Structures are given as C-alpha cells and as structure tokens.
Amino acid sequence: MTEPSVRIEERPDRVVAILDRPATLNAIDQAMVDELHTLCALLEAHPKTLLLTGAGGVFASGADIAQLRERTSADARRGINATLFRRIRALPMPVVAAIDGYALGGGAELAYAADVRIATPGARFGNPETGLGIIAAAGATWRLPEIVGHARASDLLLTGRMIDGETALAWGLVSALHERAELLAAAHAIVDRIAANGARATQLTKQALSAPIEAHPAIELELQAELFDSPEKAARMTAFLERRRDRTHRTEPRR
C-alpha cells in the first residue's frame, strides 16, 4: 500500500490535516484530492474545525505538474481542484490554514479557500500558472480579488510573481505572521478560540460570511432567528450574566 498523501490527526473539537508528499514539495495530485474529499465527507457529517498545514516546511508547491501535463479539456471542465477547494470552503465549520514555505499555484488556491490564514515570514505565495500556459482556474481569479482586491490580485495572477509573508500580511492575504517554530501552536490557539464559542453560532456566522451581497441583511435575520430560540443562547447568556454578577459582587466596596 502507498503511504497517504494527507496525515490526519483527529481531536474532539478539530481535525488537523497535514499535506505530506515530501518528494514533490506537497504537490497536489489525484490521490491527495481523493483523500481530501474523504476528509470533507467526514467533516460534513461530523462538523469540526479543520486545521490545514503542510509537512517539511512547505504548504503545497502547486498541482502535480506531471499529472497536470496529461490532463485534457475534458479534465479542465471537470474542475478537479476547483471542485475540491469549493467543498473545503463550504465545510460547516471554519478552516484555518497554517502556511510555511511555498503556497503556489493550486497550493495557493487551497490556502485562499480557508477562512483564516496565518503564515511564517518565509511563506511564499504565488500563481505562476500563465508561465505554464494555463490559468489559475481553481478559485484564484475570483477568490483572490475578494481577499486582496482586484489590483493586487491582477498583479499576482498576470505576472506570476511570488510574494513573501510580510507582503501577504500587508495585503491582508494572511491575518498574522509567526515564526516557524510557533506557527502550529498559533494555529491551534485560533482553533481554541473558535471551539470556545457556540458551534451552531459559528456555523451560521460562516454561512452569513459566504452569502452573496444581495442576500443581506435578510440572511442574518433568519439565521439570528434560529439562534434566538436556541437553548444554547439562553444558557450562554445566563452564564454571562451570572459571571458579571459575581464580578460585581467581588468588586463592591465593603460597608
């Protein structure tokens, strides 16, 4: 049996997926696509936050060029990577990407599909597809402008150049930078904060964030209506009020 391309670590409130094809710098091949679809099916049935990262100091160097070279127009229309990345983006709970080293081509598009991205200063983002005679067709042409704006997305996609972690932070492509030794712990800290919140409220917040502009504000009102009638809302708000009352009693001056 071949070794899996994605190492999975499942915990009660999260799943860690580590891209692990060291010989190809974690290039995304069909086997990795299939394994990630299997993981998506698990997370759709049993929602948990997904922490996505790469082994060996690399996130993902792109699609597997040896396989990509052999794909035809029919393969292009199937949207092999695009379909997977849309599925990852649509997972019920948030996806946090911890990025070190290369996140190029399909690897960059996988990172763009995450809800939260953090990186190291040594991260390198880019979409060099035009240099290979193709386009970035797995989400970059529409998702990247949403993240960094049309002008910066055009810069990256039309030149094929790479940017480093500092530039990615300045552009808003990532929300924070951490040194390599601290990256995974920082990602887990983000997941800890997510896990401390109401799971259904988190799911519906992600749903609202993903909705088209014309769906607002009606979608928030409907989602909020569900939450307002939920037992968890009552329990969490009661607990908040009790904690505030206890703090007030502790700080009141003695008479």
Q: Is 115 helix (H, G, I), strand (E, B) or coil?
A: coil
For the chain, give the longest Cα–Cα distance.
Answer: 83
Q: Let me know if 129 is a catalytic residue.
A: yes
Helix (H) or strand (E) holding 89: helix 80-89
Q: Let me know if 220 is a catalytic residue.
A: no
* Beta carbons within 8 Å of 241's beta carbon, 6+ residues apart: none
- Given the residues 10, 44, 129, 222, the one annotated as active site: 129
Q: Structure tokens of 159?
A: 């030149």
Closest to 137 in 3D by CA, of 178, 200, 85, 59: 85
- Between CA 131 and CA 20 the distance in angstroms is 26
Q: Is 12 helix (H, G, I), strand (E, B) or coil?
A: coil
- Between CA 145 and CA 107 the distance in angstroms is 17
- Given the residues 9, 10, 44, 109, the one annotated as active site: 109
Q: What's at 54, amino acid-wise?
A: G
Are the CB atoms for 49 and 94 separated by under 8 Å? yes
Are the CB atoms for 237 and 227 separated by under 8 Å? no
- Between CA 31 and CA 34 the distance in angstroms is 5
Which residues are designated catalytic?
109, 129
